[in-house]
Structure 1
Amino acid sequence: MENKKDLKILSMTLILGFASGLPLALSSGTLQAWLTIEGVDLKTLGWLSLVGLPYTYKFVWAPVIDRYRLPFNLAGRRRGWMVFFLLGMAFLLLLISQTNPKEEFGILHIAALALLLAFFSASFDVVFDAWRAESLSKRLLGLGAAWSVIGYRVAMLTSGGLALMLADFYLGFDGVYKLLALICLVLSILAFFSPEPKKTNTPPTLMKAVVEPFKEFFSRNGAVTVLITIIMYKFGDAFTASLSTAFLIRGAGFSPAEVGAVSKGAGLIAILIGGLLGGLILTKFSLLKCLLFFGILQAITNLGFLWLASYEANITSMAIVIILENLAGGMGTAAFVALLM
């Protein structure tokens, strides 16, 4: 690094990467654990997994965010959107913490708030990716990507494993959501002081921002096949993950703290190792072979949950299932990302 400016940008990349990863579990695994403890039925929990759809479909409104800036424009184009979305997430987390799922329409209120939280979080990811691409010089792109991933993973551990342990032992789930709302507020202040990129590429018209990228993609040979592969490749894994927390707490009888330590803690480490292994294997074999092998591996390791359901589960058996499932998931994600590049 040549100067303090590079260090400041990299430090903000780490912080904003943390901000990017923090809300994910709060509209999925951690929320699922809370509602499971409150006695919400599995059918409702299954439907609630749909609140994560904004992460999948953020590409639909990403060009609009890229095209327009906020009217008041107090913090710059990229920075202004990041501050706006972080403040929105802090407010939504506070509202969720004050909602009782046992009250009439309580689940509907939580579902609506969680959907908005996922929308704001996915939109923040769009702006953060643009900010990172425009702020980092070419020689710092690789290092910046690594720092943002580190921040993202630490945030997932915080809002996943650590949050479950704090909820079980000290604060309760409402207290955890209040604490994380405060953290989001602090992150919004830090984002306000992040450097605004000097040059931002603004599409001249909404047509160029929204319509033309889709036209260009579908004009390519095999575009529909690639799109179907992208949608379906992680489909089964996503369905398994959608109710895994509820199963481990209610079906297998583990406490939120145990799930937090093993499923979210050791599981996260296994995902990272799986990603590294997948990357190494991709250097030796073709992408198609890796996609097939990793896909089959993901399907096989998902059967571990059947083992937990069929026999008396303990911490060791849960750890084995979670680690193997996340190792395979990390390898599959590595191949999936390679497909997207």
Structure 2
Amino acid sequence: MSDKTSSLAAASLPLPAAPGATESPPLEASPTGWRHIWRVYTEAATLRMLLLGFSAGLPLLLVFGTLSFWLREAGIDRTTIGYLSWVGLAYGFKWVWAPLVDRLAIPLLTRWLGRRRSWLLLSQATVITALICMALTDPKLALLPMVWCALAVAFGSATQDIALDAYRIESADVQRQAALAASYQTGYRIAMIWSGAGALWIAARAEMTGLAGYQHSAWQTAYLVMAASMLLGVLTVLCSPEPQRRELPPSKNAADWLKGALIEPFADFLRRYGKQALLILALIAMYRISDVVMGIMANPFYVDMGYTKDEVATVTKIYGVVMTLVGAFVGGGLAMRFGVMKVLMLGAVLSAGSNLLFAWLGTRGHDVTALIFVISADNLSSGIASAAFIAYLSSLTNINYSATQYALFSSMMLLLPKALAGYSGRYVDAFGYSHFFTATALLGLPVLLLIVLASRSKTA
């Protein structure tokens, strides 16, 4: 995307695309033809985002879903597992250090790679190191070291997200953001399948025959393979071009630098959106609440229902991959064709509905066919919702503060859901899985109202 250096638009204009900001999103139907839409997916920037999306998505389940499976198999109780999901609050507070990623140069590394790629490489190195440390730690013997290692993975992963979101936004014009979001989301979801189903499959293969029950060495092998898988992202960063550099205005002193780095990105958002900013922030904070709150208990649910690592891995690996690809690309295509808000509504409805399917699955006992159906529907709905939501968040971002503003939006997306998710284990212990999944579906109802209000406002 070309550098835009004009001043910010006047605060009195309703929802302007401030010069230097991404323009208003294609929230209404676009006349773009289907042939042009699908051709965008073959462009170099889109394919590059597929690989970088894989690097971004890989660490997430390794400190959430996959880790919860590992911990449950190691005999850790559900309440503790629920509390440990608060490790994910690192993602909810990444806006705190996002201004540093946006503006601070890394000695030597930034001169070699540029601002965005240098931060990407540093964060990837952090994730790889922390995953190796997790592999060498047995939670059954000492849980606290595992918590610190997981925090390091989450911090490195959140930092990678900050730099990568900025890289994506700065790599293409606004009309291609939905396609880049879809490609990014596809890579992200494939990585989640690899770090979820793939890690379970590797752990199952690495178990020593003749020994029943928990085996730390099997999980150690799985996490070392996951650390090696992050090298795909490292190679992509090294082979990718740096987005056109934006010349930032020189700072007169430390106070001036802090104002430009910490205050101005948030003030800019409030100036551009005015009173509607509260509605936008509420929608962002609530949109993924059903998925995130439910997700931390999914793998403990599989363990308690008697599904083996092989069964969960196989179902997710085959059906999850197919439905993820379908959901992400269909979601991105629909957003470009019919507008983001309509697809946001569709994604919200599907996400809440898929949680009800998990409640139904809990009544089926050990039913692999039902598991296939539920996992397929869940991946399809998540792919559609995420592709549209990423495009929506990108459309709100000023290119001059892309890392900081997008970090704020994506942090808000996770902060409330992750805080609630910490109590998920206690809720399941008190009321059971079926009641829990139904309650998480009901959490999605306010989201539908917020989308309707946002669609009717001047944001659309």
- 2:140 corresponds in structure 1 to 102
User: Is the 2:197–2:317 contact (alpha carbons within 8 Å) kept by the matching residues of 1?
Assistant: yes
Distance 1:8 1:113 in 2: 35
User: Is the 2:126–2:152 contact (alpha carbons within 8 Å) kept by the matching residues of 1?
Assistant: no
User: Is the 1:134–1:200 contact (alpha carbons within 8 Å) kept by the matching residues of 2?
Assistant: no
| 1:107 Cα deviation from its structure 2 partner | 2.0
| 1:222 Cα deviation from its structure 2 partner | 1.7
- 1:89 corresponds in structure 2 to 127
Distance 1:338 1:113 in 2: 32
In proportion to residue count, which structure has more helix?
Answer: 1
Does 2:268 match 1:216? yes
Could you say what secondary structure the match of 2:59 adopts?
A: coil
Does 2:101 match 1:65? yes
Letter matched to residue 230 of structure 1: I
- 2:291 corresponds in structure 1 to 237
Letter matched to residue 269 of structure 2: F
Distance 2:177 2:341 in 1: 27
Which of 85, 89, 98 in structure 2 is aligned with 1:49?
Answer: 85
| 1:241 Cα deviation from its structure 2 partner | 1.0
Letter matched to residue 103 of structure 2: R
User: Is the 2:185–2:387 contact (alpha carbons within 8 Å) kept by the matching residues of 1?
Assistant: no
Distance 2:173 2:144 in 1: 45
TM score, norm. by length of structure 1: 0.83
Structure 1: state its 5+ residue gaps: 1-5
Residues paired across the two proteins, number: 333
- 1:333 corresponds in structure 2 to 386
Distance 1:120 1:299 in 2: 30
Distance 2:293 2:65 in 1: 13
- 1:75 corresponds in structure 2 to 112
Which region of structure 1 is more displaced relative to structure 2, 255-264 or 193-202? Answer: 193-202
Distance 1:132 1:283 in 2: 17
User: Is the 1:279–1:331 contact (alpha carbons within 8 Å) kept by the matching residues of 2?
Assistant: yes
TM score, norm. by length of structure 2: 0.63
Distance 2:179 2:284 in 1: 27
| 1:127 Cα deviation from its structure 2 partner | 1.6
Distance 1:253 1:293 in 2: 33
Distance 1:238 1:99 in 2: 26
Letter matched to residue 260 of structure 1: A
Does 2:390 match 1:314? no
Letter matched to residue 221 of structure 1: K
- 2:302 corresponds in structure 1 to 248
Letter matched to residue 227 of structure 2: A
| 1:239 Cα deviation from its structure 2 partner | 0.8
| 1:264 Cα deviation from its structure 2 partner | 5.3
Q: 1:296 to 1:15 in 2, by over 3 A?
A: closer
- 1:122 corresponds in structure 2 to 158
Deviations 1:217-239 (A, max 9, x none): 23422211221121112112211
User: Is the 2:182–2:331 contact (alpha carbons within 8 Å) kept by the matching residues of 1?
Assistant: no
Deviations 1:142-179 (A, max 9, x none): 77666544543432232222221011112611111112
- 1:3 corresponds in structure 2 to none
Q: 1:112 to 1:258 in 2, by over 3 A?
A: same
User: Is the 2:54–2:187 contact (alpha carbons within 8 Å) kept by the matching residues of 1?
Assistant: yes
Does 2:221 match 1:175? yes
Distance 1:186 1:196 in 2: 18
| 1:294 Cα deviation from its structure 2 partner | 4.1
| 1:200 Cα deviation from its structure 2 partner | 4.0
User: Is the 2:186–2:383 contact (alpha carbons within 8 Å) kept by the matching residues of 1?
Assistant: no
Letter matched to residue 134 of structure 2: I
Q: 1:265 to 1:66 in 2, by over 3 A?
A: farther
Letter matched to residue 146 of structure 2: I
Could you say what secondary structure the match of 1:227 adopts?
A: helix
Distance 1:240 1:138 in 2: 33
Q: 1:147 to 1:227 in 2, by over 3 A?
A: closer
Deviations 1:153-210 (A, max 9, x none): 4322322222210111126111111122233357546634544445245464231222
Q: 1:226 to 1:40 in 2, by over 3 A?
A: same
Deviations 1:258-283 (A, max 9, x none): 11222354234323323445456657
Q: 1:203 to 1:144 in 2, by over 3 A?
A: farther
- 2:190 corresponds in structure 1 to 154
Could you say what secondary structure the match of 2:362 adopts?
A: helix
Q: Which has the larger radius of gyration?
A: 2
Which of 177, 193, 207 in structure 1 is aligned with 2:259?
Answer: 207
Could you say what secondary structure the match of 2:230 adopts?
A: helix
Q: 1:190 to 1:288 in 2, by over 3 A?
A: closer
Distance 2:286 2:168 in 1: 29
